[in-house]
A and B are shown apart, each in its own frame.
Chain A
Amino acid sequence: MLHYTLKRILLAIPTFVGISLVVFFISINTPGDPIQMIIGERTFDLENDVSRANIETKIREVRTYFHLDLPPFYFTITDQTQSDTLHRIPDHQMKKHLSKLAFENGNWKNVNEYHKSINRLTSEAYADQTSSKNKVLHLIEELKKQQTTEQLMHLLASFKLVSSNENLIFAYKILEYSILQLNAHTDISARYVPKFIWNGAENQYRYWMTDLFSGDFGTSYKDRKPVGHKIGTALKWTVLISILSIILSYSIGIPLGVYSVKHQNSPMERLLSTFLFSIHSIPSFWLASLLIIFFASYEYFPIFPSYGLGDWNENSSGLVSFLDLIYHLLLPIVCWSYSSIAYISEQTKRSMLNELSADYIRTGRAKGLTENQLYWKHALKNASFPLITQIGNLFPALISGSFVIEYIFAIPGVGKLLLDSIALRDYPVVFSILMISAVLILIGTLISDLLYLKMDQRVSYSKQWAS
């Protein structure tokens, strides 16, 4: 038992690392520039020098704060055309553009010269006060979208710079020269030679993992609040409703299961089991929509509130406000738990049928116990062990199935937070929720496996004893 438990827990460690790698891989491959998302895209359009300097310092701050100036992982596998220091370039689009150009061209030195000349032209353009400023800035934006040197040459051929600013003209000439250089020296053989770069412990993944272990889930891109706090408040609601619906589904599901075992093959039981089977196939958002339409909208029977939590807030207390909360949560809880009611009653039925063939039931009958006593007191007691282990499976399902109902009834739970964060592209929140719920599920299955093992041992023990 101890051996198995230890083995099971140790094996959960590689699983945890694997999950974190999957989540991290998705998180660094999200489209768009993270810095633009943090700072907001509009600030990039500002054109005067003062705010540009401000933005540059702000970008630098944000990059060090979110560790975006570090390489993503412990090592990088790439080809010889790529540079080791590419991750230091702040502009996301520029980074992609340069590394693609290096791959197509094969000469990082020339690409670097090209990068310098673009930077020079950009600063000259910002210093320029004439109408050619916007024209040049627009050219640079266009250059960044190109993929090959041919495209760069093509774009440059169609561009005419007329300006009295000599510095600007000079910077433009340098850019032209660097692109010509790029075009002249193309050697793609280097791209077929692999390159292995060891980045060491200073990388984004390491910081992310150490932060996770110290309970710091990062900072939201949008409101700069700690993600852990945001998820904590949301998780409270989801867990509350999950627990309420687990209680509901056990307290309805078990009697239904016992009833259908007691009255097996009666017409009522058949109807019930067909009903419970078809309940499984009802999509929860359909039931929720129907309940809102028929019981919460003003057209038909406005009995229940259609969304929200009523007047409940952090400071509320007392029975009346709690009852008001329950009144608001009634429809969501019904939608949340109907399918687990069916599941629990099915499981109860299955494990009760197992128990009823046991010897002690026959002994009980011979002793003259009533059927009710037999079913409710003796059989159910033993049949309830597998049911308890089901909580480990049910809880994760309830949490991950929560978001549709939270979305429909506007409950500020984890699912709603996830959907809102996805809409806002607030990725730290999204990936922290993924990570936390994955860990919760991992723990849930671990506990239910261990419980099952313990129970199984008891069964095998009793069998040994019997024989």
Chain B
Amino acid sequence: MKLILYIQQKSPVIFWSLIVIIFIGVFAELIANDRPLVASQNGKIVFPFYNSSNLKSTDIDYEWQLMPLIPYSPNSLDYKNVKSASPFKSQQVDSWRYRHWLGTDEIGRDIFSGIIHGTQLALIIGLGSMLIASIIGIFWGAIAGFYGDNTLKISWLNLILLPLFIFIGYFYGFHQTVWTTETPTISLIQIVVLNLAYILASVIVCFSISQFLNKLLKIKKLITFPVDIIISRMIEIVKSVPILFLVISLAAIVNPSAWNIIWIIGLLAWTNIARYTRAEVLKVKNKPFIESAEALGFSNARILFQHILPLSLQSASVFIVFGIAGAILMESTLSFIGVGISAEEVSWGSILSEARKNPTSWWLAVFPGFAIFFTLFLFNKLATIIEDRNRY
């Protein structure tokens, strides 16, 4: 809350632009649609925009109707204005109300409407994938920073149980679930996510059970478990694979949908967040108030989640915001290349790729590209504002 007020005071232009973009993203259906917002049909008030049938407004007779600001859906074809109508030249429209303010593409789709709906898709992908990435990144980063290489002590019993539990988690969790569902409906992304989730769950269960067993059997001899080295290797592995190459390879293999893109980016883009959370946790961990918390006998979990994480989240938030910009750029790059999202979904990148086919229609490149640029600029600027705030 404080942060939002800070941003609004620091640079109101950036703040209100972000609000506008989020507003457009949330209410895209209300701003650009080929069905009326409110209409009267046989004396009853109806809200046709809500109804997702493919009927166009011209197909039904309404007594009166209120059209949205842009009376076109991103996929509705205007047969009178095919072959890329320029925004500045005369168009074959009924009135100025139906003018294509930013022109049309080869098959007569409205560019403005496409950009409005592209905002929605970009925000969903940017925020969704970063939600996944920050959960993964903060989790691993916090654990690596908190336990380090010499803090986590485990017994030999734990070392024996660990492979066993991973095996059990894999077999009874993952193997049984995947095999009982019908094979064609399971995608590669789901397999990866399920597998990781089950193995992680079994590792956590194993650690808590063996802590309990250690107390029960009074095992005194403990060895250190190098958590940091293992997590750093994990980060290095994900960081070393060129993320864009991997994303296009994966996006070409799995079914094209926005949901899959969110998962792919989320599962790969967490390394920066993890690295900086780790560094920040390391810094906070040695402060005196943590020592006193330890002296008071608080549990590790309480110290980590209540005292260390809230402080280290501040610096991770910079990389989350940078990551949103990165994810939006990645999504638009993918749809520009023509992999990733399905053909029905309209994205800034897919509109821009139309410009490649007919280079004389400059409006196909200028406007969606500017939308990408503006959004990336806003998020990058937001990240630097938060960074400056953290510094002082």
Contact = CB atoms under 8 A, between A and B. Distances in A.
Contact of B372 (A280, A283, A433): A283
Contact of B377 (A103, A281, A290): A281
A19 B253 contact: no
A441 to B, nearest CB: 5
Interface stretch (B30-38, B273-281, B325-333): B325-333
A281 B171 contact: no
Contact of A103 (B179, B240, B337, B362): B179
Interface in B199-237: 229, 233-234, 236-237
Contacts of A283: 329, 332-333, 369, 372-373, 376
A401 interface: yes
Contacts of A415: 245
A422 B380 contact: no
Interface string B309-339: 0000000000000000100010011001101
Q: Tell me what chain A mostly uses at the interface: helix, strand, loop, or mixed.
A: helix
A210 to B, nearest CB: 21
Interface string A86-104: 0000000000100010010
B242 A396 contact: yes
Contacts of B170: 77
A290 B249 contact: no
Given A26-B188, A100-B183, A306-B359, A286 B167 contact: no
B242 A286 contact: no
Interface in A1-53: 11, 14-15, 18-19, 22-23, 26, 29-31
Contacts of A438: 240-242
A194 B175 CA distance: 10
B175 A78 contact: yes
Contacts of A396: 242
A460 B356 CA distance: 53
B365 A293 contact: yes
B242 A399 contact: yes
Nearest to A408: B356
Contact of B171 (A77, A306, A399, A408): A77
A407 interface: yes
Interface string B360-386: 101001100100110011001100100
A437 interface: yes
A281 B373 contact: yes
A403 B373 contact: no
A239 interface: no
B7 interface: no
A430 interface: yes
A147 to B, nearest CB: 6
Given A147-B182, A283-B372, A404-B336, A418 B171 contact: no
B157 interface: no
Interface string A189-222: 0011010000000000000000000000000000
Interface string A241-278: 00000000000000000000000000000000000011
Interface magnitude class on chain B: 35 or more
A289 B240 contact: no
B242 A437 contact: yes
Given A77-B170, A306-B359, A434-B242, A289 B377 contact: no
B246 interface: yes
Given A11-B229, A22-B237, A78-B175, A281 B325 contact: yes
B237 A15 contact: yes
A277 B388 CA distance: 15
Given A283-B376, A286-B352, A408-B356, A433 B245 contact: yes
Interface residues of A, number: 62
Interface string B235-268: 0110111111110111011000000000000000
A294 interface: yes
A400 B332 contact: no
B249 A422 contact: yes
A175 B365 CA distance: 61
Contacts of A73: none
A415 B244 CA distance: 10
Nearest to B249: A430
A422 B339 contact: yes
Contact of B233 (A15, A26, A433): A15
B355 interface: yes
B191 interface: yes
Interface string A164-188: 0000000000000000000000000
Interface string A124-160: 0000000000000000000000010000000000000
A29 B245 contact: no
A297 interface: yes
A382 to B, nearest CB: 24
Contacts of B365: 286, 289-290, 293
A79 interface: yes
A292 interface: yes
Nearest to A284: B333
Interface string A305-333: 01000000000000000000000000000
A445 interface: yes
A280 B381 CA distance: 11
Contacts of B167: 77, 194
A282 interface: yes
A96 B362 contact: no
Given A285-B336, A290-B369, A418 B245 contact: yes
Nearest to A13: B233
A43 to B, nearest CB: 24
Nearest to B372: A283
A230 to B, nearest CB: 16
Interface string A428-467: 0011011001110110010000000000000000000000
A274 B246 CA distance: 33
Given A100-B183, A278-B377, A282-B373, A418 B249 contact: yes
Contact of B253 (A26, A191, A289): A26
B373 A18 contact: no
A299 B355 CA distance: 13
A445 B240 contact: yes
Contacts of A403: 244-245, 248, 337
A329 to B, nearest CB: 19
Contact of A437 (B245, B329, B355): B245
A96 B248 CA distance: 27
Contacts of B233: 11, 14-15, 18
29 contacts: A11-B233, A15-B236, A18-B237, A26-B253, A30-B253, A31-B188, A77-B167, A77-B171, A96-B183, A147-B182, A191-B179, A192-B176, A281-B325, A281-B373, A281-B376, A281-B380, A282-B373, A285-B336, A293-B355, A297-B359, A299-B362, A401-B244, A403-B248, A415-B245, A418-B248, A419-B248, A422-B339, A423-B252, A433-B245
Interface of B: 167, 170-172, 175-176, 179, 182-183, 188, 191, 229, 233-234, 236-237, 239-246, 248-250, 252-253, 325, 329, 332-333, 336-337, 339, 349, 352, 355-356, 359-360, 362, 365-366, 369, 372-373, 376-377, 380-381, 384
Given A194-B167, A299-B362, 12 more contacts: A30-B253, A147-B183, A192-B172, A277-B380, A285-B352, A290-B366, A294-B362, A400-B244, A407-B337, A422-B339, A434-B241, A438-B242
Task: Give me the 3 closest cross-chain CB pairs, A-B, nearest first.
Answer: A400-B242, A286-B369, A281-B376
